[in-house]
Structure 1
Amino acid sequence: MQLTVQDAFALAARHEAAGRSMEARRIYDEILAALPEHPGALLKIAVQELSSGEYERARERLERALASAQRQTLPTHEIWLALARTHLAAGEGAAAAKAIGEAHAWAKRLKASGAASAACVVLQDCVKLAPADPDLRVTLGAVLLDANRAADAQRELERAAALGAQGGEIWDNLGLAHRLQGDDEQAIRAFERAVAVNPSLAPALANLVNARYVLCEWDGLDADEQRLLATLDDPASDPRWPPWIALSMPTSPAQQLAVGRRWANAMLPEPAPRRPVPPRSGKLRVGYLSGNFRDHPTGRQMAGLFEHHDRTRFEITAYSYGPDSRAPVGERVRVAFDRWRDVREVADAEVARMIREDGIDLLVDRHGYTLGGRLGILASRPAPVQVHYMSFPGTLGFEAIDELVADAEVIPPGEERFFHERVRRLPRCYYVNDGRRGLPAPTPRAAHGLADDALVLACLNQSHKLRRPLFAVWLSALRARSDAVLWLLAGSARMQRNLRIEAERAGVAPGRLVFAPPLGQDAHIARLACADLALDTLPYGSHTTGCDALWVGVPMLTGRGGTFAGRVGASLLNAAGLPDLIADSPEEYGARLQELVAKPARLAEYRDHLERTRERNPLFDTAGFTRDWEALLLEIYDDAAARSINSTL
């Protein structure tokens, strides 16, 4: 039986793996007899010739392979690497360096396409050939960050620095490597050095601001924020300001739109033109694209939505590029889909091809600009309609995203002009909850260092959401009531020290700040009931953290912020039936907190309401939410189809 070229290469590879190089060579010769300029066969024979010391013949064959691949616009990095080895073996250093440089350029293109693993392989081969080249290690460090290999990235970046790598980028990436490993103190030092080396490097300045947030380093923070905000007024400034950091800053909706558009234009592929949207027929094929289909805050929240989808009207497919999760939540999410596509190691263009071939009508991006997102997959418009939902509470400013799902609280009528996408509103709180999530038995306060008779004011948000003005309001409440304590999520030792100093400055004993260590989800939910009141943050408020508190029966005080990210708490409370816990100004927030501290019996009434209504509370009605969600998806698709038809008339 005659083999296909692909099968022939597979057979040859098996021969080579077994040490049968001559048998493999015969297959490559047969391929070349049929296809004389096949670049793959030429490459394989050249590699054999190189290993036997036939440098000139190997070089000639590789040059033919390169020319053939370039004519066919095929990838050439393996050929360039083989040429580099050939030149090095022949003592031709300059030619080898040129070939390594070409392979390096290919690795950068692979990185930009989302193929981090493939880029790592190419760069590691480059480093073996030129171990003293710091630029190769800088790029390898950046690619390892993309591949979620922070410790390996740190090693390569530190080696690059030792070899003399220059510029702020290396220190910025080294800071990211430290941050991803949880070493916030080393991270801030690296970001500070990056900004010192290059004060105009916007990503380093943004990362420095965020590192200050994480460590609650509030002295001098305003100046860094203003330096970053000033870049929006300078068209020549570095546009690479991560939009997710802008959400945590004192930015307006208009500024967040500018940040999103600048980032998209600088960092994402040029979007393809809109595709025609055919009228709906049969089931609507919906794809969900995310790296968080696992034991992750938004993964946990959405599990019930996937389970409740009406399979008579919808077919749902997951495209998962996050870590593989065999935890109960990950397994629950996986089996809820009609089809599951694991695309962790698949380049963006190939993922887009899969989505197109799966016939997806409407693609829901579930990641946005949050860490690890892969918006490049959407650039070629693999689905006729593309929507963003839930993970990124703001505009993306990316032309490949057609619609953004919200509600009337988080995006009030009249604010559509601040969103690049068409705004779509659900008739209820846009933030889905899982009514099947379970409720572990509460743990005793003593297990968490809390007195049974204390009034426990809790903010278990990540520390990057804390700010000095609101923290001062909380400390004022502690001064007003001697048995009150402030229960906070523990960050680094430096973060805790900074907050204790802040308390002492305000006349509050540092011991009245109690820090809760990070715990697994079930243990965290079990301890939440120890709180009497959850305190929301601004300008970036509680999202899943707020849902968790309300689920266990802990009321939350929020302020209605000026942006989407700061209004989610208000949306949650409206849905939960507690609108009087929404303040419209910082002053009202402070006054309301003082009232609640003075009359904690009101908190018990709120708790009773949440506990009594848990099973029927609209906030936790996953089935009802799913029906509203499905109606909105059908409306989005049908409207797009109608516009598509009208545009051709």
Structure 2
Amino acid sequence: MVKTKNNTNPALDEMNALLALFNQRKLPEALAIASSMVQQYPKHGFAWKVLGAIYQNQGAMQHALDALKNAALFLPNDYEAQYNLGNCFYDQQQLDSAVVCYQNAIQLNPSFAQAHYNLGNVLKKQDLLKEAEQSYKNALRFDVDNVWVLDNLAHVLYDQGHFSEAKDCYERVLKIQPDFVAAHIGLGAVSKALGQLQDAEDSFKRAIEFGAEFEAYSNLADLLHASDRLVEAEVCLRAAISAHPDSVDATVKMAVYLRTLGRVPESIPYFIQALSIDQSRKDVHVDLGLAKADQGLFSEAEVCYRRALELDPDYWLAYNNLGLALHRMERYQEAELAFDKAIALHPSEALLYSNLGLTLAALGQIKKAEASLKKAVEIFPEYVNAHINLCTNYIAQGRLEEAEYECFEALKFDPASNKARSNLLFAMNYSGHHSAEYRLQQALEFNNVVTSKVVQAYTAWQSHPNSRRLRIGLMSGDLRQHPVAYFLENWVRNVDFSQFELTAYLTDIREDAFTGRLKPNFAYWKSLVGLTDQAAAELIHDDGIDILLDLSGHTSGNRLQILAWKPAPIQVSWLGYFATTGMKCVDYFIADEVGVPAAHYAHFVEKIKYLPDTRLCFTAPHVAVDVSALPALTNGYITFASFQTLAKAGDDVLALWAEVMLALPDAKLRWQCKSFGDADVTADMVARFAKLGISADRLTLLCSVSREAYFVAHHEVDVILDTFPYPGGTTTCEALWMGVPTLTLAGDSLIARQGASMLSAAGLADWVAETKVDYLNAALALCSDLSQLANLRAKLRAQVLASPLFDAERFAKNMEIALWEMWHEHYPVAGVDKVAQAKDASATNEK
């Protein structure tokens, strides 16, 4: 009898031959035989099992998955088939399916250590750390000295905060394999978490000795940085670059480290070096853009962000940063498009709505900006910057209580926020509802916050008590077309450079034509942009500055916290702000007797240093616009005007303005400010006036215009009605120069008395009211005689140019005396009495 061939199973020698080819890595030959075998024996699991393994080795993952599924189907009791299928699922990130396969393999062979280990790896990747921990421990029951299992178990223990257990695992690994680099790094991490910093440092160093990759250097540098061992951290990162010259991460780490220290210019070559290694790293292009932006090089930053977007058109972070750069370049419409694109890509990111809100506000879309900022807060209620930006938005709308509320919300989530506290202090100046004591208390809170961040303030300086020439530093972000610059120019152009050397310290490097007029008066022009507070203080201290004038106070973009390091022996607040800084390290506040009468000394932490006449001297505008005739002579009615922001015009202001207009029923109000570029804001204001009895036909509400057009607008104005308690400053001086007087109401703080100070210095004390009743009566009286008003208009420009408010030489002499007085009060030593010399010179000039 002849036996027939079994057609359902391959012969044993065929299977052995296939297995031998596979083990010898002769994969093409093995593939041909395995493919033939599964066609001939389609239900035989062994052939499918080997075929799947071959495909896995070749990277043909879908073919591998199909083959291994058949293997598992036809070998239901083969734990290796389940295990191999699990590996294939894992490689394709089908994690749930991989878990099922590994569990099946373990059920078939409970002592299969590798299946327990791989199951742990999948569970770890799914963030099921407790379950992963148990799987690793199961694997160790059957493979007690497996260093990979121990290392991964240590990882999940660390991630769960079980640092002591993790440390035990790493130490077991190193007893088995002392050169296991990853275990040394892990041991360093858990030692750091346990506060055992020397042990951590030793572990990272051992990892490096055993030839660790960049990770060990990075961890060691972070440890040294956190311990304020900055030089050692830098040496470590340089060693990392030397050991791994082709590592983008090593080079970027050095760049980011330098940028963190405020050494931004030094960081840029490292970012560029990283990109020379790998131009495809979109994140490095963005990092380089950030470094460029830190230096104020926004057009160069734009190039970096656009390069990142060429690499990944859906890179939302690059769109966000591009929007920020475009915003800083005042290309607001392009910035809006960039933020819109970022939001479309990542609609759940709060910072995008916050940044968009700033750009919309710059475009005059105040209400739309408010909605965007509220969306940011809705997504992330603890987002401090969104609350601060919302505060700024509410100020622009004149909603002061809501603005202050947002500052307190920001401080609730970050009590140490300098920016939130500065915004709060600035916002309170618009309101008449806070006592001087309360404002001072809040300012002192700012002082407490910033001084707590200072490691060690300077107590010694390069100054010489008998110096005959003082080095004066001026710190500001507004040395361009800005009110601060308008008041500064007259002084710096008339400084006696034989007695004073001026250095500008910029907190914002934007420049324009006005900057060009200021620069020649300074011996040095230095940027603090991109420097940390400590690095900036160190620069100022090393420059040997004798007197440092801060021109910003709590206004936008200030760097008051630099003063907390006390980089100069004498520090002074002047010009840009109108209340106490609250900082005990600021020695003086420059004022005049009208602005800060002696009864108000207690409102200030600083010592008041009086200037005669006025604390400010305005520079005649650089525009060719003549004074016009009084428009009321032609119109037959008075046109009142304001060029103030909505924030300055609270309910009390509108009510008093309405009283004036009701008393003069033919009068009209022309009000021009940026917020009226938003139609909804304008409609709200018309409605508010209607409730006060003033109809829309008596109102002309206009958005802001170019600087020259703004001056020309005064041709339509007879009298400026000032706001309170925050009156005009720059606009008051500019109106006087255009022949238009301002009616102001003096209050009980420096800012509330700013208008009174300026008008007194200009010889218009009769335009200063002490009460609301006086304000109303003065408006009626001063507007009752049009010929007198016309005569005043005709002579007013000449009058103010000759007054202390515009007299640059007189003001420069007054400042000279004040600076030397402050110097001698600080250094009361014998020597040349510069104060007496200056006073003698001033008296001679007056003669």
TM class, shorter-length: 0.7 to 0.9
Q: Deviations over 1:227-248 (max 9, x none)?
A: 4698899999786341322222
SS at match of 1:614: helix
**Matched residue count:** 571
**What is the identity, as a one-letter code, of the residue corresponding to 2:427?**
I
Question: Alpha-carbon deviation of 1:291?
Answer: 1.6
d(CA) in 1 for partners of 2:724, 2:353: 30
Q: Distance in 1 between matches of 2:738 and 2:713?
A: 9
Looking at structure 1, the residues matched to 561 and 449 of structure 2 have their Cα atoms a distance apart, in angstroms, of 12
2:574 to 389, 394, 397: 389
Preserved CA contact (<8 Å) 1:481 1:597: no
Q: Is the 8 A contact 2:640 2:718 kept in 1?
A: yes
The one-letter code sitting in structure 1 at the alignment partner of 2:368 is Q
- The amino acid across from 1:282 in the alignment is R
Out of 697, 704, 719, the position equivalent to 1:511 is 697
1:617 aligns with 2:803: yes
2:507 is aligned with 1:306: no
Distance apart, 1:261 and its partner CA: 3.3
Moved more, 619-628 or 450-459: 450-459
Letter in 1 for 2:216: E
Paired amino acid for 2:757: S
Deviation at residue 259 of structure 1 after TM alignment: 3.1
Q: 1:198, 1:477 → 2: CA distance?
A: 46
Cα shift at 1:545: 0.8
C-alpha distance in structure 1 between counterparts of 2:411 and 2:467, whole Å: 48
Instruction: Give the corresponding residue for 1:550.
Output: 736
Deviations 1:82-125 (Å, cap 9, x if unpaired)?
A: 999999x9xxxxxx9xx99999999777699997835998x989
User: Where does 1:286-435 land on structure 2 (aligned, <5 Å)?
Assistant: 286-327=472-513, 329-344=514-529, 346-435=531-620
Q: Does 1:63 align with 2:249?
A: no
Q: Indicate conservation of the 8 Å contact 2:403/2:427, yes or no.
A: no
**CA distance in 1 between partners of 2:340 and 2:519 (Å):** 36
Amino acid aligned to 1:488:
W
Deviation, 1:477, is 2.5
Task: Return 5+ residue gaps in structure 1 as ranges.
Answer: 1-56, 90-95, 644-649
Residues in 1 aligned to 2:436 and 2:236: alpha-carbon distance in whole angstroms: 45
Equivalent position SS for 1:620: coil
CA contact (8 A) 2:566 2:585 kept: yes
The 5 A counterparts of 1:131-530 are 155=338, 159=342, 163=346, 165=348, 171-194=353-376, 207-216=389-398, 221=399, 224=402, 227=405, 240-241=420-421, 242=423, 243-250=425-432, 251-266=434-449, 269-270=453-454, 272-273=456-457, 275-276=459-460, 278-327=464-513, 329-344=514-529, 346-435=531-620, 437=622, 440-442=625-627, 452-490=635-673, 491-492=676-677, 493-530=679-716
Deviation string 1:400-426 (CA, Å, 9 cap, x unpaired) is 422221122222213222222222221
Change over 3 Å in CA distance of 1:272–1:404 after alignment to 2: farther
Amino acid in structure 2 at the alignment position of 1:307: R
* Pairwise CA RMSD: 4.7
TM-score normalised per structure 2: 0.57
Q: Given that residues 570 and 826 in structure 2 are in contact (C-alpha distance below 8 angstroms), is that contact kept between their aligned partners in structure 1?
A: yes
Measure, in 2, the Cα distance between the counterparts of 1:373 and 1:461: 22
| CA offsets 1:294-342 (integer angstroms, 9 cap, x no match) | 1212212211210100112111122234344341x22111112223234
Contact 2:354 2:386 in 1 (8 A): yes
Deviation, structure 1 residue 598:
4.1
Give the drift of 1:376.
3.7
Please tell me whether the aligned partners of residues 404 and 424 of structure 1 are also in contact (alpha carbons under 8 angstroms).
yes
What's the offset of the Cα at 1:197? 6.1
Distance 1:84 1:158 in 2: 38
* 8 Å contact kept, 1:305–1:432: yes
**Secondary structure of the structure 2 residue equivalent to 1:429:** coil
> Corresponding residue for 1:33?
none
SS at the partner of 1:423?
Answer: strand
Q: Secondary structure at the match of 2:539?
A: helix
Which residue identity lines up with residue 478 of structure 2 in the other structure?
A: N
Query: What residue identity is the alignment partner of 1:192?
Result: K
Residue 600 of structure 1 deviates from its aligned partner by 4.2
Whole-Å Cα distance in 1 between the matches of residues 447 and 340 of structure 2? 26
Distance 1:135-1:322 versus aligned 2 partners, 3 A rule: closer
In structure 1, the residue matched to 2:203 is: none
Q: Relative contact order (C-alpha < 8 Å, sep 6+): which is higher?
A: 1
Change (3 A) 1:143 1:427: same
Deviations 1:128-186 (A, max 9, x none): 9999999999999899989989776994698479646577x765554334334543222
Secondary structure of the corresponding residue to residue 515 of structure 2:
helix
Q: Which moved more, 1:183-192 or 1:221-230?
A: 221-230
Which of 582, 589, 595 matches 2:781? 595
Q: What fraction of aligned residue pairs are identical, expressed as a percent?
A: 24
Structure 2 letter corresponding to 1:60: E
8 Å Cα contact 2:721-2:744 kept in structure 1: yes
Structure 1 length-normalised TM: 0.73
Query: How far apart, CA to CA, are the structure 1 residues paired with 2:497 and 2:235?
Result: 41
Amino acid at match of 1:247: N
Measure the CA separation in 1 of the matches of 2:664 and 2:614.
34
TM-superposed deviation, 1:623: 0.8
Query: In the aligned structure 2, how far is the partner of 1:432 from the partner of 1:363?
Result: 19
How many Å separate the matches in 1 of 2:411 and 2:534? 35
Q: Secondary structure at the match of 1:292?
A: coil
Question: What CA distance in whole angstroms lies between the structure 2 residues aligned with 1:131 and 1:59?
Answer: 35
CA–CA separation in structure 2 for the residues paired with 1:140 and 1:400: 38
| 1:572 counterpart residue number | 758
CA gap of 1:613–1:212, structure 2 versus 1, over 3 A, is: same
TM-aligned CA distance change 1:117 to 1:147, over 3 Å: farther
Q: Give per-residue Cα distances to partners, 1:562-598, cap 9 Å, x unaligned.
A: 3222211010011112222212223332332233344
Identify if the C-alpha distance between structure 1 residues 257 and 147 changes in structure 2 by more than 3 Å, giving closer, same or farther: farther
1:77 deviation in Å? 8.9
Indicate if the aligned counterparts of 1:138 and 1:170 stay in contact, CA closer than 8 A: yes
Deviations 1:500-525 (A, max 9, x none): 22233333231322234433334423
